[in-house]
Amino acid sequence: MSEFNLLDPFQFLTIPLGDWVESILNYLVQNFREFFRAIRWPIDQVLEFSEAILQSIPPLIGIILSSLLGWQLAGKKMGVFCAITLFSLGLIGVWSESMTTLSLVLTSLFFCVVFGVPLGILSARSDRVERIVRPLLDAMQTLPAFVYLVPVVMLFGIGNVPGVLVTIIFALPPLVRLTNLGIRQVPEDKIEAARAFGCTPKQMLMKVQLPLAMPTIMAGVNQTLMLSLSMVVIASMISVGGLGQMVLRGIGRLDMGLATVGGAGLVLLAIFLDRLTQAMGERSDTSNTLHWYETGPVGFFVRGYRSMQTR
């Protein structure tokens, strides 16, 4: 053994961080199995439910329904656009994989909204909460996914549920940030007016802050969806199914055809979701003068019904 050297003290002075983490993980796995199973449960339920629905809808019906939705949200052009993207998904033969990926993405979106929006509201209300939450979000966004992929597998095993979990970790931050930002950006004079008319804090939130922050929150939803989609590929390493799996297998077998098809499917899905959520964001913007039931296919039927009545 060499002498203790003051210039390089780290030969003797080291913290066994890696060992600690490992032993903590082992401890957790052995003693908190029930707890992790409890976390799995709700994710499992939502995932199974959404996958069952999406897989059971025949492709043509799915295309029609989603283009109607697009029409309702952003006009006829959007409806046609939705139909074309989804139709192409079917044409390149990845309809079923797309639906699996979509259900994964929607499930993670669901949990991101359930946790992210309230967290954003809390951090908009209190600077202290924001100070605590912000570095956490930074960590979630910058930590390479591979770092938490391993512990998540140790704690939850492999498959779609841990896949959704890592996706949530990766996709949550923008929603929290943008919810926080949107609420903080509500003009001071509107807040003051609401207070002057006797709003309770809850009324302030529901009737003034959230509606006025909605376009920004929708931008957060859009970001969360995009990040979820990109995470789905990485998550396929822990045997998550869908389009990501195709890409991974294609790369593994050097099958460029398979990888490209999977990639193209992901891109089409991304475009579809991006445009749709963007349209939703614009709808929630303030310059809308028609009620939702006066536009799109619903408006079409409502008008038809009204003219039948007047006749």
* Per-residue tokens: 163: 């896949």
Q: Strand locations in the chain, DSSP E? A: none
CB of 173 to other proteins, least distance (A): 27
Task: Give the end-to-end CA distance of the chain in Å, rounded to a whole number.
Answer: 101
Question: With binding defined as CB under 8 A, does residue 287 bind other proteins?
Answer: yes
CB of 75 to other proteins, least distance (A): 19
CB of 223 to other proteins, least distance (A): 22
Any idea which residue has 């992901």 for tokens? 266
Return phi, psi of residue 58, to 5°: -65, 140
Name residues contacting other proteins, limited to 200-229 (CB under 8 A).
200, 203, 207-208, 211-212, 214
Return phi, psi of residue 212, to 5°: -75, -25
Name residues contacting other proteins, limited to 17-56 (CB under 8 A).
none
Which residues 6+ apart lie within 8 Å of 122 measured at CB? 129, 133
Which residues 6+ apart lie within 8 Å of 55 measured at CB? 96, 99, 100, 103
Which residues 6+ apart lie within 8 Å of 66 measured at CB? 82, 83, 86, 272
Question: With binding defined as CB under 8 A, does residue 127 bind other proteins?
Answer: no
Rule CB under 8 A: choose which of 28, 199, 258, 298 binds other proteins. Answer: 199
Rule CB under 8 A: choose which of 39, 54, 64, 194 binds other proteins. Answer: 194
Question: With binding defined as CB under 8 A, does residue 196 bind other proteins?
Answer: yes
Question: At 254, which amino acid appears?
Answer: L
Other CB atoms within 10 A of residue 242 CB: 29
Rule CB under 8 A: choose which of 192, 300, 303, 305 binds other proteins. Answer: 192
Nearer to other proteins, 198 or 257 (CB): 198
Any idea which residue has 């391993």 for tokens? 150
* 116, 176 Cβ separation under 8 angstroms: yes
CB of 292 to other proteins, least distance (A): 13
Q: How many residues does the structure list for the chain?
A: 311
Nearer to other proteins, 123 or 209 (CB): 209
Burial class (CB in 10 A: 0-12, 13-18, 19+), 180: buried
Question: With binding defined as CB under 8 A, does residue 286 bind other proteins?
Answer: yes
Nearer to other proteins, 17 or 290 (CB): 290
Rule CB under 8 A: choose which of 24, 53, 139, 193 binds other proteins. Answer: 193
Residue 205 DSSP symbol: I
* Sign of the four-CA dihedral 292, 297, 301, 307: positive
Rule CB under 8 A: choose which of 189, 257, 310, 311 binds other proteins. Answer: 189
CB of 174 to other proteins, least distance (A): 23
Binding segment (CB under 8 A) for other proteins, from list 83-91, 147-155, 199-207, 303-311: 199-207
| Site size toward other proteins, by CB under 8 A | 22
Burial class (CB in 10 A: 0-12, 13-18, 19+), 134: middle
Question: With binding defined as CB under 8 A, does residue 303 bind other proteins?
Answer: no
Binding segment (CB under 8 A) for other proteins, from list 37-45, 126-134, 196-204, 223-231: 196-204
Binding interface with other proteins (CB under 8 A): 187, 189-190, 192-200, 203, 207-208, 211-212, 214, 286-289
